[in-house]
Amino acid sequence: PWTMVADAGKLSAFTEYDFDGSEEWKAHLRNVELPAGNPQAALLKVKSKWYKKNVDPDFDPAWLAGSAPNQQQQSSAPWQEQQQSASARPAPQASATAPAGQPTHTFARQLHTALLQAIILVLAVLYLQPLKPGVSRWAYTRLTMALAASQALKLHTAFGMPGGFSLAALKAWWARVQRTSDAHYFLLAVAALVNAPYTYLLVPFLVLAIYQLAFFLSEHCSNHPLWQQHGEKAYQWLVQHKQHALLLNAQIEIMNGFTLLATLILPSRRPLLMLMVWQVLRLRYWSVDAAIHHRQVRGGHVAAPFKP
């Protein structure tokens, strides 16, 4: 029946959702105390409720009743390791002494991602500065390359490489990633790279870069006096306004689509960029982690102004 097909699709989306890469989920888990009797089942229950509230309101946690063991396959780390990494913030040196070297590799990946976000923000400042047009053009090219590299790194970390470079292998890999924001932003980064500069296309990337860099610093620099004096307060403000930021990103993405569509009647039209942006908008409307915000915007909801 159709309902069973829909349930299976949503269960698959839940299973493939990158909880380990979600800063909002990690922040939520830090405030959750799980029972000692059956922590894996309790963690799955918390995940399903959080997923329904923040990702897919149509998801029904009751669907997991007969598939609880399968959901645990999405993470190879035991529950104790997930709880430790999401609760009290460890010092960077603690991860280096963990068994099997897994935390060290995890930290290295997080460090590479954080450095890319820092480079992206620096290049964005150089691009936006109005004093030297030559520097601005140079920075834009490097910025779009860094954006594409950052999204490619995230996709590789979460899904690995395709099983080959045949058409069937590429289609199978794309079917796994096409509903994720990392895939969508990779397409937008490529669109920015191959087209003339379009500043508003960069805004969602910069918002996410700020959040990702701030999250990394909160995890690994929380004991530094400078972070405790200034950074922690800024990070908590970002956490409190996370939903507003995601809604703002959705508004800008939709605005970009309609703006590019309207400019088709002008000499400055960009038909290729318009087609690429609208293809991404279609994907995001049905994605597992962006659909709720895009549907809110299309339903008339707008992001409230940020308050200090």
pLDDT of residue 117: 94
Using CA atoms, how far residue 213 sits from 115, 119, 147, 238, 290, in Å, is: 8, 10, 14, 11, 20
Write out residues in the chain with pLDDT < 50, as ranges. Answer: 1-6, 68-102, 307-308
Residue 210: what pLDDT? 95
pLDDT (0 to 100) of residue 105:
66
pLDDT at 61: 81
What's the pLDDT score for residue 24?
74
Token digits for 8?
A: 């299976």
Dmax (CA) for the chain in angstroms is 67
Q: Extract the tokens encoding 38.
A: 């059956």
Query: How high is the pLDDT of residue 297?
Result: 86
What pLDDT is stored for residue 93 in this prediction?
40
- The confidence score (pLDDT) of residue 256 equals 95
Q: What is the pLDDT of residue 69?
A: 42
Supply the pTM of this predicted model: 0.67
Task: Reduce the DSSP state of residue 133 to 3 states and report it.
Answer: helix
- Amino acid 62 reads A
Show the tokens assigned to 109. 């990946």
* Alpha helix segments (H runs only) across the chain: 2-16, 23-29, 39-54, 68-71, 79-86, 92-96, 102-128, 133-159, 167-177, 181-194, 203-220, 225-226, 232-240, 242-262, 271-285, 291-298
pLDDT value for 76: 34
Distance (Å, whole) CA 237 – CA 16? 29
Model confidence pLDDT, tens digit, residues 249-265: 999 999 999 999 999 99
